[in-house]
Chain A
Amino acid sequence: MADDLDLERGHDDADERPVSDRTKRRHKAQARREQEAIETRLGTIFSRLADSLEGRGDYELAEMIREDTKAMVGGLSSMARRVPAAAGAIVGGLAVLEPLIAFGRVFRLLLRRAGERRASADQEVWLDGQGGDWSPEPEPGNVHHPFLAADEPEPEDEPEDDGGTVIDGIPIDGPDVAKPWEA
């Protein structure tokens, strides 16, 4: 319920106040709103920055930013209030940083995916040049080595050894070894 109306003294009437008074009041309220907006935006920027650093593994800096956010925002806000030029620079900086931080992660992910797609396409082109399809499970006797250089000779099969068995330079088996028990 609304407050009681004082019927002896009455209440302030907006139309009665001098125009300059009203204008001053409005300007003050507007300045306060702008100040609050800058502080909120700076706080958000620092928070996102700390998140980003944490994502990259820089926990020390992220923690530091989180701890000092209030002081940094307060300092920048105070400077913006006292020095109009600084306020302009801070607002300008925010205008650049905010979209960068807002879209940074999305852009990074899109770039990585685009790189992966390009690598995959290059590989397919190379396979087409080799004249064969990629077979993930090669069958016995049909083994090929896609990553070997084209001019490198294929490994040759071992030659058949028909000279018999030799141990420490003494032939113990083969056509030249006498086998009296077979005579």
Chain B
Amino acid sequence: MGGVETETGASVRVVPWESFAQLFAKSHKQGEHVAIVGPTGSGKSELELELARILAARRTRTKRPASVTVLAVKPRDDTVQRLVAEGWPVLKKWPPSYGQEHNVVWPKAKTPSTAARDQRRVLGPLLDTIYQEGGQTVCIDEAAYFERPLPRGLGLGATMELYWASARSLNLTLVAATQRPRMVSRSMWSEPSFVFVFRPEDGDDLKRVAELCGRKDDVLELAPQLGAFEFLCVQRQRGGGRGLYVSRVERSQPQRRRPAR
């Protein structure tokens, strides 16, 4: 574990992935949101699913496994497919069976022209239901697609805004990633307790995230220096202040889970 100092004098901890994963598991509390930004192929989906695994390995206060649901929208998604191969079932109805805490919801589109509409018919009511139930973790791979209006997106901007702004009080954690930070609500960058930034390709995108996550100068200085699969994590600490970490996401060994009966 090492450390560097930015021009503003802030200290940044550079940690290997295992250490960071432990640190995240220890410091993240249920109800705290996570936002990830990065261009295509930067590793944001990989990071998101690794975080989902970390959160899924935790236990609730009642000693039951934490409930984590991954919402997938792409026609094919190898990262999500790996989760399914590990034993995360693709649900056909909600609520899931008793004991089935780690799930994938993957509404398949019949045709491209009706894809958004069909997926909205599934994911809109599901997000409403999960919001009412509370106490879970929801992972969304492309937040901008959820927020953009029909037919380019699912038109669930109001629901997403509600999740960012008030789901914390319901112990509802939202883990969302996007490659278009200017197409999502400001709350996605101002509300989360953890903001992960991969090396950006667009200066304006980086500026928006940097301005809203609370460490503008440090993010603007560090993010362009990141390498492949490396990320900068800005952690909002309880009692004020923000911690800065740099790490590199690595794929964990798949753990075959016995499917729930």
Contact = CB atoms under 8 A, between A and B. Distances in A.
A7 B117 contact: no
A15 B155 contact: yes
Contacts of A157: none
Instruction: Determine the main DSSP class of B at the interface with A.
Output: helix
A8 B95 CA distance: 13
Interface residues of A, number: 13
Contact of A7 (B94, B120, B155): B94
A6 B93 contact: yes
B227 interface: no
B125 interface: yes
Contacts of B129: 2, 5
A16 B105 contact: no
B126 A7 contact: yes
Contacts of A11: 121-122, 124-125
B238 interface: no
B91 A7 contact: yes
A15 B125 CA distance: 12
A10 B107 contact: yes
Contacts of A2: 129
A7 B125 CA distance: 9
A13 interface: yes
Given A10-B121, A10-B122, A13-B120, A5 B93 contact: yes
Instruction: Determine the main DSSP class of A at the interface with B.
Output: loop
Interface in A142-170: none
Nearest to B90: A7
Nearest to A2: B129
Interface string B80-121: 000000000001111100000000010100000000011111
A17 to B, nearest CB: 12
B69 to A, nearest CB: 11
Interface in A1-24: 2, 4-13, 15-16
Given A4-B95, A13-B120, A13-B124, 10 more contacts: A5-B94, A5-B95, A5-B129, A6-B92, A7-B92, A7-B122, A8-B107, A9-B122, A10-B119, A10-B120
27 contacts: A2-B129, A5-B94, A5-B122, A5-B125, A5-B126, A5-B129, A6-B92, A7-B91, A7-B92, A7-B93, A7-B105, A7-B107, A7-B122, A8-B107, A8-B122, A9-B121, A10-B118, A10-B119, A10-B121, A10-B122, A10-B125, A11-B121, A11-B122, A11-B124, A11-B125, A13-B121, A16-B120
Interface of A: 2, 4-13, 15-16
